[in-house]
Structure 1
Amino acid sequence: MEFSTSNSTISRPSTIMDHLSILRIVSLVIGLLFVRWIARGVYRVYFHPLSRFPGPRFSAFTRLPHLNAVRRGILHKHVARLHETYGEVVRISPDELSFIHPNAWRDIYGLGSKEDKGSAPPKAWGKYRNSPNGAYHLLNMPDPVQHARQRKIFLPAFSNRALTQQSPLFLRYANQLVSILKSGGVEGAQFDLIRVFNFTTFDIMGDLTFGESLHMLDNAEYDPWVKAIFQNFKRGAQLGLLYNYYPLVAGVFQAVMHKKVAQAQYAHLNFATSRVTKRLEKGRTSEGVDLWDLIFKQEEKGKAGLTRDEMDVNAGLFMIAGTETTATVLSGLMYLLCLHPASLAKLVKEVRSAFPSSDDITMESAVGLPYLNACIKEGMRMYPPVPIGLPHLTPPEGSTICGHYVPPGTTVAAPHWPMYYSDTIFRDPKSFVPERWTGDERYARDERAAFQPFSVGPRDCLGKNMAYHEMRLLLSKVIFHFDFELGPESDGDWFDQESYTLWQKKPLLIKVKTATGA
């Protein structure tokens, strides 16, 4: 008698054994990875060069708390809570330190500590994305020599002399803003000041950068380019988690989502490129006041110019850095003034007493209003347009920051919001008190040097003077012409917002009524 067996009968035990072997291998790999994670975490907590710095042990063990805060848009609050608990220097993740001492600005972003050990940390270039066309702009240029070259080219366009030439342009848009608020229909009409201020600042920068407005004030609608800019803030910050900390995962994501990611990256560049092309075709204009007119003048004098790719990426940068941030300060300050009627009344009295008519309000004349300047500073302290700290990386020789030697390869930053809300830096930090900037003795011990909304050093904000002039002018105009009252929809904690480098602002609904005699 013969016995026969089918192939399936023979192979079944072998298949089961194969599956068990695969499961054992997978379990072994997972177990080894888990052991490695634990071992690395223990090393980070107890033996890492940063183990002597204060901070929660779990944040030293793993960067998950930090990454979760970034993902949720609450990094500024997370870091502030850590500083409240652990002091002026905190280890916020395994290889990152945060400082809220006034000297941090000099030691991290300026020329470095006066102490001999180490040198000033440069930007953490691995956390700054390259431009799609391969060119570098002022914000992501790693070469200090090339950065200085670009900055030297643009500097005259942001000088006081240039701003004086550009004053009629700013006045035109300030007056258009007033006209729009006056045309709101019934007295006491409600406006979303976020939209109104964004329309104004983007139109101004469009004219300065390209010689042509984006016409958002005219159309009462966001330009498609601006819509794309706003949509990419949150997405860019969250994608940065992958690119900055998990490059292998980022590589897989890039391969799978390449078309979608590339489309978003090139959309902004293409908007800038098309407008720069249109502007360059005009050549020198008779007005001679926009950005390119001033650059053309330098080239005519034989000075080195920009490559075309550098023109495109810097133009795109200006449309972000010189617009949304200014509108943010204006919106936040109007919210604070509406919440504090006594401060608003004091500002109204100063502005309306200083100018017989609206025509007397200019960028030059608005400089001399002390309470207005104090309100702007206090507004930026309580609602800084960039609430987080911009990351720098200690060099191979390390750095000395606020008296602490920080070893090589450490990410360091001085975060605006946590510093400005620290009661070790400012008295009554959660209170809106413009008088702290006008010599009020109650606030004599405030660490005013800690307030650096435009950063410091060779890479500070190039448009600082322009931003102050623009904010003073626009605020003077609207304060002169209108009375304001916070709408019930915004009469809550409007500052309770997520932040992805920049704020994710909610509508700011304010009733606007034409002032008597304006």
Structure 2
Amino acid sequence: MGLESLWSLVSFAAISIIFFQIITYTYNIYFHPLKDYPGPYHAAASHIPLVYHILRGNPVFWTRDIHDEYDSDVVRVAPNELSYRDARAWKDIYGHRKSGEQTIKKSPQFYEPPFEETPNLVLANDETHSRMRRIFSNAFSDRALKQQEPLFLEHVDKLISVLRKSIETDPDEKFDMVKMYNYTTFDLMGDLTFGEGLHLLDGNKEMREWMAGILNSMIFGAILQSIRYFPMVEKLLMNCIPQSLHDKRLRHQRHSNERVDKRLKKESTKPDIWNLILKQDEASGLSLAEMYSNADLFMLAGTETTATLLSGVTFYLLKNPDKLKLLTDELRTKCKADGDLTLENLAQLKYMHACLEEGLRMYPPVPNGLVRTVPPGGAEICGQYVPPKTNIYASHYCTYRNSKNFRDPYEFIPERWTSPEYDSDIKSALAPFSIGPRNCLGQNLAYHQMRVILAKTLWHFDLSLCSESENWADQKTFILWSKGPLMCKLKPRSTLK
């Protein structure tokens, strides 16, 4: 083939691709089944705008702006994707379906395990998920949590001890509370998941590097999510992911698997997760590979999200000293001694619960929406028919910043959960743990962790925000929040009983 013929072939191919794209964009904008939904033309035409914002770390802010610009509780953010901020969307998308209605399932586009890995509770299909959930539910029951209370207190008391010793050495020391909360939740979940703490609070360098690797894996997740919008070239794009990200992922998996093996070989009477589930006959249906994949999940879902909420609520309390005083007064009045800070007692503190709920609203640990796909028969969402195969989700961040759901949505106001003044708020719009058959299995565990860690910190210390963290909440999101240091000064209470 001569040079002229080759050039003609390349030109024809380029023109064909351009023509195909023009036809595709025209169809998506003017003829697609979602053409009547509000949203920008460029987002309706192509996935590129959404992927651009995912990789930049600002998809939730971009989506919020689209909702606000079009003043609509449902907007089209991609050719085949709708975002909702209507409180009814939680039940319509994620809730239990009525008899005869088709289930709105997780989108396989976003929830297929990468690299043919064994699916965990989150990634499993409905049948496997139901089986796993039955097995694990005992380990997350109220009865199990009561048995696990000594483990909770052991690790949180360690946090208090480490903070106190550091202050005694240097009264002017600044603490990054993001790290301190993460060290605590990882140590605690390590004990629950592997039968022994990880000793991050003791300064274990290897474990701290492992923790950092788990948190950095969210960037890999955002890249994977973006690639899956282009299935025709997915394999090619997967090969473009830096080898260093693959290595970190494999190193984390290997480390987690080794710890599961070690725990299974060890005789233990601790009320940890494996001790509670291995007593069940049903546990025989849990393969070793499924134990590996779920241990991996627990070490992310049971740590990072809890530490994220604690960081967020600490920041907003410090930015609102009047709210912080109300909470510390409640804690120190109702709990006269450290020994009164039990799981049962803390669950009765109304203002603490209100602060945690408001923290979840202002700073949801998972700010994005959890994607579902409309079944073949279509579905009615928020009173409107949605055609089959549409990707849909309720966006946590957008829903919680919707003034139709919450009055003064950008203000941290715990009183909205306790005062009749905010009765107009649609409280059901808050669903940080989702709802329905796929809701978070560990939400009770999360609430207990959040209560006891925050309560002990505020009961023992007076906190102040350092100037360098004044704008801490201005963050990007890569599936989860990309948090910088939350620098605080801590001063021990002058009198402790």
**TM-score with structure 1 length normalisation?**
0.91
Provide Cα deviations, 1:446-492, integer angstroms capped at 9, x if missing partner.
1110100000011100000010011111111111111011001102x
Matched-pair contact (CA < 8 Å) for 1:187–1:514: no
Q: What is the identity, as a one-letter code, of the residue corresponding to 2:96?
A: L
Q: Which residue of 2 aligns with 1:363?
A: 343
Amino acid at match of 1:517: T
The answer to whether the aligner puts 1:456 opposite 2:452 as a matched pair is no
Q: Partners in 2 of 1:105 and 1:410 — Cα distance?
A: 16
Tell me the alpha carbon deviations over residues 87-145 of structure 1, each in whole angstroms, 9 at most, x when there is no partner.
10101110000111111111111124x698x6342000121241656422100001x22
- 1:230 pairs, out of 215, 221, 229, with 215
Q: Which deviates more, 247-256 or 381-390?
A: 247-256
Q: Which residue of 2 aligns with 1:477?
A: 456
Q: What is the total number of aligned residue pairs between the two structures?
A: 492
Of structures 1 and 2, the larger Rg is shown by 1
2:359, 2:283 → 1: CA distance? 40
CA, structure 1 residues 403+120, in 2 after alignment: closer, same or farther (shift >3 Å)? Answer: farther
User: What letter matches 2:468 in structure 1?
Assistant: E
* Residue of structure 2 in register with 1:502 after alignment: 480
Q: Deviations over 1:157-176 (max 9, x none)?
A: 00110000000000011111
Are 2:26 and 1:27 equivalent residues in the alignment?
no
Distance 1:453 1:495, change over 3 A: same
Structure 1 pair 347/102, CA: closer, same or farther in 2 (3 Å)?
same
Shift of 1:506: 0.5
Runs of 4+ in 1 over 4 A off after TM superposition: 255-262
Give yes or no for contact 2:140–2:441 (8 Å, CA) kept in 1: yes
CA distance in 1, matches of 2:95, 2:34: 23
Following the alignment from structure 2 to structure 1, what is the Cα–Cα distance between the partners of residues 242 and 220? Answer: 15
Of the candidates 110, 119, 126, which is equivalent to residue 109 of structure 2?
Answer: 126
* Equivalent residue runs for 1:48-447 within 5 Å: 48-86=32-70, 87-112=72-97, 119-130=102-113, 134-142=117-125, 144-184=126-166, 185-219=169-203, 221=205, 222-242=207-227, 244-255=228-239, 262-283=246-267, 285-287=268-270, 289-299=271-281, 304-438=284-418, 440-447=419-426
Which stretch of the first structure deviates more once superposed, 320-329 or 129-138? 129-138
AA aligned to 1:410 is T
In 2, are the aligned partners of 1:110 and 1:120 still within 8 Å (CA)? no
Distance 2:344 2:204 in 1: 29
Counterpart position of 1:38: 22
Separation in 1, partners of 2:85, 2:214: 30
User: C-alpha distance in 1, partners of 2:336/2:296?
Assistant: 39
Partner Cα distance (1:120, 1:298) in 2:
29
Q: CA distance change for structure 1 residues 259 and 92 in 2, over 3 Å: closer, same or farther?
A: closer
Structure 2 segments unaligned to the other structure (5+ residues): none
The Cα shift of 1:260 comes to 5.4
The answer to which of 457-466 and 392-401 deviates more is 392-401
Measure the CA separation in 1 of the matches of 2:144 and 2:217: 32
Q: Give the drift of 1:78.
A: 0.6
Gap change, CA 1:76 and 1:237, over 3 Å in 2: same
The residue type equivalent to 2:478 in the other structure is Y
**CA distance in structure 1 between the aligned counterparts of 2:328 and 2:16, rounded to whole angstroms:** 67
Q: Over aligned residues, Cα RMSD in angstroms?
A: 1.8
CA–CA distance in structure 1, aligned partners of residues 47 and 114 of structure 2 = 27
Residue 235 (structure 1) shift: 2.5
Q: Is the 8 A contact 2:148 2:272 kept in 1?
A: yes
Cα pair 1:132 1:265 within 8 Å, conserved: no
Q: 1:258 to 1:419 in 2, by over 3 A?
A: closer
SS of 2:405's equivalent? Answer: coil
2-structure distance, mates of 1:145, 1:252:
32
CA 445–120 in structure 1, closer or farther in 2 if over 3 Å, else same = farther
Q: Contact conserved, 2:277 with 2:283, CA < 8 A, in 1? A: no
Structure 1's 133 and 397: CA in aligned 2 closer, same or farther, altered over 3 A? closer
Deviations 1:422-469 (A, max 9, x none): 11111000000000001x233111111010000001110000001001
Distance in 1 (CA, whole Å) between partners of 2:229 and 2:165 is: 51
Moved more, 24-33 or 346-355: 24-33
Distance in 2 separating the partners of 1:359 and 1:255:
55
Amino acid at match of 2:260: V
The C-alpha deviation readout for 1:6-37, integer Å capped at 9, x for no partner, is: xxxxxxxxx9xx32322222122111211111
Instruction: Give the Cα separation in 1 of the matches to 2:404 and 2:436.
Output: 24
Instruction: State the alpha-carbon separation in 1 of the partners of residues 242 and 311 from structure 2.
Output: 37
**Does the CA-based 8 Å contact 1:386-1:503 persist in structure 2?**
yes
SS in 1 for 2:385: strand
1:231, distance to aligned residue in structure 2 (A): 2.1
Determine if contact 1:169/1:204 at 8 Å carries over to the other structure.
Answer: yes
Q: Does 1:512 align with 2:490?
A: yes
Q: d(CA) in 1 for partners of 2:73 and 2:283?
A: 45
Deviations 1:277-328 (A, max 9, x none): 0000013x133x00111012213xx664411111110000000000000000
CA distance in 2, matches of 1:410, 1:119: 14
Distance 2:430 2:274 in 1: 32
For the Cα contact (< 8 Å) 1:199–1:220, is it kept in 2?
no
- The equivalent of 1:3 in structure 2 is none
SS, match of residue 92 in structure 1: strand
SS in 2 for 1:278: helix
Q: What is the CA–CA distance in structure 2 between the aligned matches of 1:233 and 1:258, rounded to whole Å?
A: 14
**Compared CA separation, residues 45 and 512, structure 1 to 2 (3 A):** same
- Residue aligning to 1:4: none
TM-score of the pair, normalised by structure 2: 0.95
